[in-house]
Structure 1
Amino acid sequence: MQEEYRTVARAGVHETEVNRSRFLCALAPAATEQEAQDFIASVRKEHAGATHNCWAYVIGADAGVQKASDDGEPGGTAGAPMLQMLLRREMRYVVAVVTRYYGGVKLGAGGLIRAYGGAVGEALDALPVRTRRRFRLATVTVDHQRAGKVHNDLHATGRDVREVAYGEAVTLEIGLPEAEVDAFRAWLADATAGTAGFELGGEAYGDA
């Protein structure tokens, strides 16, 4: 798995104008290909009267799924530069739709490539971007007497406490950077006089 990736924090739109043509770049996070396609469909519906609705998306922390469409623009002048801009900025789990309203001036192939790629780049500059970092999931099991202090200490040190469950004992699911697993295990044993349980799970991504 990749150590980290970047994505947009929320959906948003940024508009630019090139030789009287309007370019509206809509960006959104997308956890799956279906989410990306649903977002594209919603933008198409909103801008059904536009000259073009070109799009690109990258799904997967390793950029395993990459797709793009020129939507009627000359081949390779819209979707491809949009996709390249997303990849150059190391964006993942993201979808971009650039809506063009033609202004009467032809841009030529080079102009289109700059306009579509530039629209995505400017939108990425304008909208909030967040970094997601790889974590190991771990489960801590501690008795009720010590649970409050352990929970407070985890928050005080900025640990990613993802879930807390109360039963015969208290179970906390946390996220840990791989490099800190051994140090955390030692801290937990010291903080609970060796009474806490600790079990490593799989991997996930969380906000850096």
Structure 2
Amino acid sequence: MLKEYRTILEPGTDEIVEKKSRFIGYIRHTETEEEANAFINEIRKKHFDARHNCFAYSVDGQQQTIRFSDDGEPGGTAGKPILEVITGKELCDVCIVVTRYFGGTLLGTGGLVRAYTDAAKACIGATDMVTKCLVVPMRLTTNYTDFGKIQYLLGNHNIPVLDSEYGENVVVRIEVLVDDVPMIVKQLTEVTAARVQIEQEDAVYSVR
């Protein structure tokens, strides 16, 4: 599995005009081919009267399933340039659709590549990119005396407490980068003389 990757959380859209042809770019977070295809069909229905709805996507996280389509444009002038923008930004779990309304002037191969590239970049620029890291969620149960030591240790490693419960003991929930798990478990055990109870869950991706 990838230790980390870049993606977006919120959709984005923007438009450029090249010699009266409109290129409307849309980007959305999609984690599977099914989600990507549903998004593509949504844009096709929205712009049913457009000449082309070209797309590219990279999904499935660590698997990185990649697809693209020129949707009737000359081969290599639309889908591939969109995909190259996605890979150039090192994005995953995203789908970009660029809708073109023909303006009456042929743009040529180079002009099409530039236009689809610029439209893809524009819609990415209309949203925010984030980094998702592979983390291990942990549930720590400790007494009040050791809790101060644990807080100090977590602070030194910039690990935030996501949730806490105060009762007979203190229960906190944290997320630890997968590569740091052995070190953090060792240090938690040492500072509490093995009194802390550590429950680990399966690794998941989390925005950092």
SS in 1 for 2:61: coil
User: What are the equivalent positions in structure 2 for 1:50-129 lying under 5 Å apart?
Assistant: 50-62=50-62, 64-129=64-129
Q: Deviations over 1:92-148 (max 9, x none)?
A: 00000001111111011221112112211222233211111222x143341575797
C-alpha separation in 2, matches of 1:27 and 1:142: 42
TM-score, structure 2 length as denominator?
Answer: 0.83
Q: Which residue of 1 aligns with 2:207?
A: 207
The change in CA–CA distance for 1:8 and 1:200 in structure 2 (over 3 A counts) is: same
Paired amino acid for 1:92: C
C-alpha separation in 1, matches of 2:201 and 2:77: 45
SS in 1 for 2:54: strand
The change in CA–CA distance for 1:149 and 1:79 in structure 2 (over 3 A counts) is: same
Q: Percent identity?
A: 34
Q: Which residue of 2 aligns with 1:140?
A: 139
TM-score, structure 1 length as denominator?
Answer: 0.83
Compute the RMSD of aligned alpha carbons: 2.9
CA drift of 1:199 comes to: 4.2
The change in CA–CA distance for 1:102 and 1:63 in structure 2 (over 3 A counts) is: farther
Q: Which residue of 2 aligns with 1:28?
A: 28
Q: Deviations over 1:186-207 (max 9, x none)?
A: 4423554422222444322211
CA drift of 1:57 comes to: 0.6
C-alpha separation in 1, matches of 2:147 and 2:199: 19
Q: Deviations over 1:23-79 (max 9, x none)?
A: 110001012111111111111111111121111110133452101111121222111
SS in 1 for 2:202: strand
Q: Which residue of 1 aligns with 2:16?
A: 16
Structure 2 gaps, min length 5? none
Higher mean displacement: 13-22 or 176-185:
176-185
CA drift of 1:169 comes to: 7.4
Higher mean displacement: 88-97 or 51-60:
51-60
Aligned length: 207
Q: Deviations over 1:148-185 (max 9, x none)?
A: 76897698665355677899977655321234223322
C-alpha separation in 2, matches of 1:150 and 1:40: 51
Paired amino acid for 2:141: V
Does the CA contact (< 8 Å) of 1:78 and 1:112 recur in 2? yes
SS in 2 for 1:202: coil
Q: Deviations over 1:4-39 (max 9, x none)?
A: 111123101011111111111000101211111111
